[in-house]
């Protein structure tokens, strides 16, 4: 498992360099979700696939940019799901993006997720990892002078935060979702939302808490964010950091996966805010946040 994480540490530096070259042109191709791909989506996807497929511990890989699972070593038991550049539509605007990955044992199922991580291509290069068997989420920064990753720093969420990062199309929100978001603002929460789940969730982790939401709507009844590449990896990170992660009715890491590109509504945050999400989504009406 650690060799896979080390592989992503090295890939992060390469992808950071690729992004810095400044090519933001779109290709003529679409990924499985129907998004038009940037050349960088394809290049970084290939870079990651080539590196992972060389590792003896990897049984198979799947990417947000590909429709199929790619088999590797049949004797191995680790499966890797990754999103090479999440939020790549932000690249032309020179905003931060990230790579997300999840390492699964034997099957691409939430219960089998044994470690996950993300790399943030921001003003600095940073990486956060979490392990199923270890409490905490671990932050590392890339030291440009030493050309090496720093030692790990443990991230821990407080029980309540101050950030409200509310995603999705507002006019499509249910009344009770809107009431919940409004109530948090009325209670003093601040809007911090850039439209990339890696920087948006990273900020909540670094600032000690808050709520990130990307709900289901009538137009997107299964939500937008993908379970294997985006939702489950962040769910593990938030849970191990002392926070919570839900789809509104159950823990994200208890959801089944029927297809590698399955999506769901999702909420990540500190405990108090997620408990409020559970209450609101159970009652489907405004309730005070206390």
Collect all residues with Cβ–Cβ distance below 8 Å to 45 and sequence separation of at least 6: 63, 65, 66, 84
Per the annotation, does 175 bind a ligand? no
Whichever of 68 and 283 has its CB closer to ligand AHM, that residue is 68
Pick 37 or 270: Cβ nearer Mg ion = 37
193 is an annotated ligand-binding site residue: yes
Q: Give the three-class secondary structure for 214.
A: strand
Count Cβ neighbours within 10 Å for each residue of 258-274 and write b for 16 or more, e otherwise.
eebbbbbbbbbbbbbbb
**Which position's Cβ is nearest ligand AHM?**
197
Is 262 among the annotated ligand-binding positions? no
**Closest of 237, 168, 251 to residue 205, by C-alpha:** 237
Instruction: Quickly count: other Cβ atoms within 10 Å of residue 220's Cβ.
Output: 16
Is 200 labeled as ligand-binding? no
Instruction: Pick one of Mg ion, ligand AHM, none as the site partner of residue 88 (Cβ within 5 to 8 A by kind).
Output: ligand AHM
Residue 249 known to bind ligand: no
The gap between the terminal CA atoms of the chain, to the nearest Å, is 41
Determine the residue with CB nearest Mg ion: 86
Q: Out of Mg ion, ligand AHM, none, which partner does residue 117 contact, by CB within 5 to 8 A per kind?
A: none
**Judged by CB, which is closer to ligand AHM: 159, or 169?**
169
Which listed option, Mg ion, ligand AHM, none, makes contact with residue 45 (CB within 5 to 8 Å by class)? none
Is 88 assigned to a binding site?
yes
To ligand AHM, the closest distance from the beta carbon of 118 in angstroms equals: 10
Structure tokens at 215: 């709900």
Q: Which residues bind ligand AHM (CB under 6 A)?
A: 35, 64, 83, 86-89, 167-168, 195-197, 214, 224
Nearest to 100, CA basis, from 112, 122, 83: 83
Q: Please choose which of Mg ion, ligand AHM, none residue 35 contacts, taking the beta carbon within 5 to 8 angstroms, the exact cut-off set by kind.
A: ligand AHM
Residue 209, binding choice from Mg ion, ligand AHM, none, Cβ under 5 to 8 Å by partner class: none
Nearer to Mg ion, 180 or 201 (CB): 201
CA distance 273 to 201: 14
| Least distance in angstroms from the C-beta of 31 to ligand AHM | 8
Nearer Cβ to ligand AHM, position 180 or 197? 197
Query: 3-class DSSP state for residue 247?
Result: coil
* Three-state secondary-structure class, residue 155: strand
Cα within 13 Å of Cα(163), Cβ side = 26
In 77-150, DSSP assigns E strands to 78-86, 97-105, 113-121, 125-131, 134-143, 148-149
Between 72 and 100, CB nearer to ligand AHM: 100
Q: Say whether 98 counts as a known binding-site residue.
A: no
Taking the C-alpha atoms of residue 243 and residue 238, their distance in angstroms, rounded to an integer, is 5
Residues lying near Mg ion in the complex (CB under 5 A):
83, 86
207 carries a ligand binding annotation: no
Closer of 64 and 126 to ligand AHM (Cβ): 64
177 binds, among Mg ion, ligand AHM, none (CB under 5 to 8 A by kind): none
Run of H or E residues at 59? strand 58-63
Which residue positions form the known binding site for Mg(2+)?
A: 64, 83, 85-86, 230
Which residue positions form the known binding site?
A: 64, 83, 85-89, 193, 224, 230
Which residue positions form the known binding site for substrate?
A: 86-89, 193, 224
């Amino acid at each position: 498992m650690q060799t896979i994480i080390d592989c992503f540490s090295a890939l992060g530096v390469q992808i950071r360099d690729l992004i810095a070259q400044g090519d933001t042109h779109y290709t003529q191709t679409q990924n499985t979700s129907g998004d038009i791909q940037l050349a960088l989506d394809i290049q970084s996807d290939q870079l990651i696939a080539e590196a992972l497929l060389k590792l003896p511990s990897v049984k198979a890989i799947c990417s947000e940019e590909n429709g199929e699972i790619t088999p590797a070593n049949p004797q191995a038991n680790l499966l890797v799901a990754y999103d090479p550049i999440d939020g790549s539509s932000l690249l032309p605007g020179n905003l931060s993006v990230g790579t997300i990955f999840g390492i699964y044992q034997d099957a691409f199922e939430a219960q089998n997720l044994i470690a996950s991580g993300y790399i943030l291509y921001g003003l600095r290069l940073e990486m956060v990892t979490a392990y199923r068997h270890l409490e905490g989420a671990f932050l590392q920064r890339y030291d440009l002078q030493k050309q090496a990753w720093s030692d790990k720093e443990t991230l821990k969420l407080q029980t309540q935060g101050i950030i409200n990062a509310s995603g999705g199309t507002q006019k499509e929100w249910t009344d009770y979702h809107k009431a919940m978001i409004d109530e948090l603002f009325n209670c003093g929460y601040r809007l911090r939302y850039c439209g990339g789940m890696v920087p948006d969730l990273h900020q909540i982790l670094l600032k000690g808490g808050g709520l990130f939401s990307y709900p289901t709507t009538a137009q997107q009844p299964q939500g937008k964010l993908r379970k294997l590449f985006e939702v489950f990896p962040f769910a593990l990170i938030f849970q191990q950091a002392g926070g919570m992660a839900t789809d509104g009715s159950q823990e994200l890491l208890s959801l089944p996966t029927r297809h590698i590109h399955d999506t769901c509504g999702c909420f990540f945050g500190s405990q108090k805010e997620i408990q409020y999400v559970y209450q609101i989504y159970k009652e489907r009406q405004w309730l005070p946040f206390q």
